């Protein structure tokens, strides 16, 4: 990852200093993966602020950026940040990532005017470089590897939580460096809750909904599959599955450069409407994926985001019948010059063999 080039692109956009507080944005700019840092970036300056825990690991990252300065703070962090504002009449602040209380405390330390702003670094992050695409591809591959082992993982688990840990272990062995989040594992009626909190629910035959992913080099994957384990059948869930599968494929087919995100959402909804399940689609169709599991562009109703080559998004329609069950199918796809490439390769057969 060429972090120096990213910083240069940011500086070209800036008219005055920007206080970067999002750790994801700081990782994008520098490669820093610790838990405490701030950056003050100006058109011709770059100050990286952290504490003594991270001084040694941050130093080579900062040295790789021309003209950058590393500040190890001690005492009040707001005073340390404010000292970097001395020559500026105004500073933009990532207001989506700093609380009102911190803004008040910071303002008390400086005469510089603080202006709230959003999306400056995030806009740079939307289009992924080939290196970023390969990191997401590797993370998706680890998720696929775990799904390939689902029958064995489920057979060895007694509860939803244990099955989730089995998925995490399989992704780790396939190259994942961290779990993106605690996997959603929903058995039977639990699948009617889109973000069911997996716990002690017993593993049993029947409906099983999974939503999980992992990280590779900080970049995320995201996938959902719904399967039927063991004997028996559920005619209603078979029909729901067909509806979601068709809607999801239509959504993927609509992805390409120039596509409007809201139109992709509408494509999925129109298919579910034809099946009579539109009222049971309880969330948006998708979102961007990168250093964060949910980031721009947003694939939802009314979104005017225009897709570009290099955007990585999910397509994940779902139908949820309260008290019965639910189905969600989700792939992570990258927009290409001519359409899209699906980075999630796991099969979409309803019956698990």
The whole-angstrom distance between residue 218's C-alpha and the CA centroid of its chain comes to 10
Domain segments of the chain: what residues?
3-125, 130-342
Per-residue tens of pLDDT for the chain, all 353 residues: 899 999 999 999 999 999 999 999 999 999 999 999 999 999 999 999 999 999 999 999 999 999 999 999 988 899 999 999 988 999 999 999 999 998 999 999 999 999 999 999 999 999 999 999 999 999 999 999 999 999 999 999 999 999 999 999 999 999 999 998 899 999 999 999 999 999 888 999 999 999 999 999 999 999 999 999 999 899 999 999 999 999 999 999 999 999 999 999 999 999 999 999 999 999 999 999 999 999 999 999 999 999 999 999 999 999 999 999 999 999 999 999 999 999 999 999 999 97
Please answer whether residues 269 and 281 qualify as being in contact, where contact means their C-beta atoms are separated by less than 8 angstroms.
Answer: yes
Q: Which CATH number is 130-342 given?
A: 3.90.230.10
Give, rounded to a whole angstrom, the gap between the first and last alpha carbons of the chain: 40
CA separation, residue 63 to residues 34, 151, 218 (Å): 17, 48, 21
Q: Which CATH number fits domain 3-125: 3.90.850.10, 3.40.50.720, 3.40.350.10, 3.40.50.300?
A: 3.40.350.10
Collapsing DSSP to helix, strand or coil, 235 comes out as: helix
CA gyration radius, the chain = 22
Query: Please, which contacts does 104-113 make with residues 24 or more away whose CB atoms are closer than 8 Å?
Result: 105/78, 106/78, 106/81, 106/82, 108/78, 109/76, 109/78, 109/79, 109/81, 109/82, 110/82, 110/85, 112/82, 112/85, 112/88, 113/89
Collapsing DSSP to helix, strand or coil, 187 comes out as: strand
Cβ of 74: how many Cβ atoms within 10 Å?
8
Q: Tens of pLDDT along 110-125?
A: 999 999 999 999 999 9
Collapsing DSSP to helix, strand or coil, 343 comes out as: coil
pTM of the complete model: 0.95
Q: Tens of pLDDT along 266-306?
A: 999 999 999 999 999 999 999 999 999 999 999 999 999 99
């Amino acid at each position: 990852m060429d972090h120096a080039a990213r910083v240069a692109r940011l500086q070209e956009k800036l008219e005055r200093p920007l206080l970067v507080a999002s750790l994801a944005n700081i990782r994008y700019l520098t490669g820093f993966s610790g838990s405490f840092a701030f950056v003050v970036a100006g058109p011709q300056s770059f100050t990286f602020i952290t504490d003594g825990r991270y001084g040694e690991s941050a130093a080579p990252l900062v040295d790789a950026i021309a003209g950058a300065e590393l500040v190890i703070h001690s005492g009040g962090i707001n005073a340390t940040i404010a000292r970097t504002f001395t020559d500026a009449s105004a500073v933009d602040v990532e207001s989506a990532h700093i609380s009102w209380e911190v803004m008040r405390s910071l303002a008390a330390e400086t005469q510089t005017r603080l202006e709230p702003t959003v999306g400056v670094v995030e806009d740079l992050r939307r289009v992924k470089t080939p290196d970023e695409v390969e990191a997401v591809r590797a993370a998706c591959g680890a998720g696929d590897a775990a799904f390939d082992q689902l029958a064995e993982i489920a057979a060895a688990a007694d509860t939803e939580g244990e099955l989730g840990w089995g998925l995490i272990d399989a992704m780790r062995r396939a190259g994942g460096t961290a779990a993106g989040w605690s996997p959603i594992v929903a058995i039977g009626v639990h699948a009617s809750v889109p973000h069911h909190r997996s716990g002690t629910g017993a593993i049993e035959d029947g409906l099983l909904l999974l939503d999980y992913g992992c990280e590779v080099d900080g970049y995320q994957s995201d996938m959902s599959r719904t399967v039927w384990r063991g004997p028996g059948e559920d005619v209603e869930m078979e029909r729901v599955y067909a509806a979601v599968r068709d809607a999801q494929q239509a959504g993927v087919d609509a992805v390409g450069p120039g596509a409007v995100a809201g139109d992709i959402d509408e494509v999925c909804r129109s298919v579910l409407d034809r099946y009579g399940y539109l009222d049971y689609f309880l969330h948006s169709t998708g979102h961007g994926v990168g250093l964060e599991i949910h980031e721009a562009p947003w694939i939802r109703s009314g979104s005017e985001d225009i897709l570009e080559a290099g955007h990585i998004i999910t397509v994940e329609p779902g139908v949820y019948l309260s008290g019965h069950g639910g189905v969600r199918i989700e792939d992570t796809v990258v927009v290409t010059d001519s359409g899209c490439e699906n980075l999630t390769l796991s099969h979409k057969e309803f019956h698990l063999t």
